[in-house]
C-alpha cells in the first residue's frame, strides 16, 4: 500500500496550456481537424450559409486555430477537402 507523508514531494502533473497564437502556428498552417456539429450551430460558424433544417449532424473542417474552413454532410467529404487543400487532418477528442 502506498502512503504519502506531509514531507513527501509531489509531482505537478498539470498539462501545459497552449496559447491561441501557438495553436494557430501549430503545424505551420498545415494541420486541420474535423468536428461534428448540429445544424442549429451552423449560423454561428458559417453566417453566410443558408438556413438548414434543425436536428441534422454535419461536419465542419477547421484550421488548427479553430477557424472554420468548410461544412459538409459527411466526415469523408471533410477529410477529402482537407487533403485537396494539402492539409493534414488530425483527430481531436
Residue of higher predicted confidence among 39 and 28: 39
Interval 33-75: pLDDT, tens: 999 999 999 999 899 999 999 999 999 999 888 889 999 999 9
E strand segments, the chain: 31-38, 57-63, 68-72, 88-90
Which cell goes with 77?
A: 467529404
Instruction: Return the pLDDT at 29.
Output: 74
pLDDT at site 39: 95
Cβ atoms < 10 Å from Cβ of 43: 13
Residues in a beta bridge with 8: none
Give the pLDDT band (50/70/90) at residue 26.
low
Amino acid at each position: 500500500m502506498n502512503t504519502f507523508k506531509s514531507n513527501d514531494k509531489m509531482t505537478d502533473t498539470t498539462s501545459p496550456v497552449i496559447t491561441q497564437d501557438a495553436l494557430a502556428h501549430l503545424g505551420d498552417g498545415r494541420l486541420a481537424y474535423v468536428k461534428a456539429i448540429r445544424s442549429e450551430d451552423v449560423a454561428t460558424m458559417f453566417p453566410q450559409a443558408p438556413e438548414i433544417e434543425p436536428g441534422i449532424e454535419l461536419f465542419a473542417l477547421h484550421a488548427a486555430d479553430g477557424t472554420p474552413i468548410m461544412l459538409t454532410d459527411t466526415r469523408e467529404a471533410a477529410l477529402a477537402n482537407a487533403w485537396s487543400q494539402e492539409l493534414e487532418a488530425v483527430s481531436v477528442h
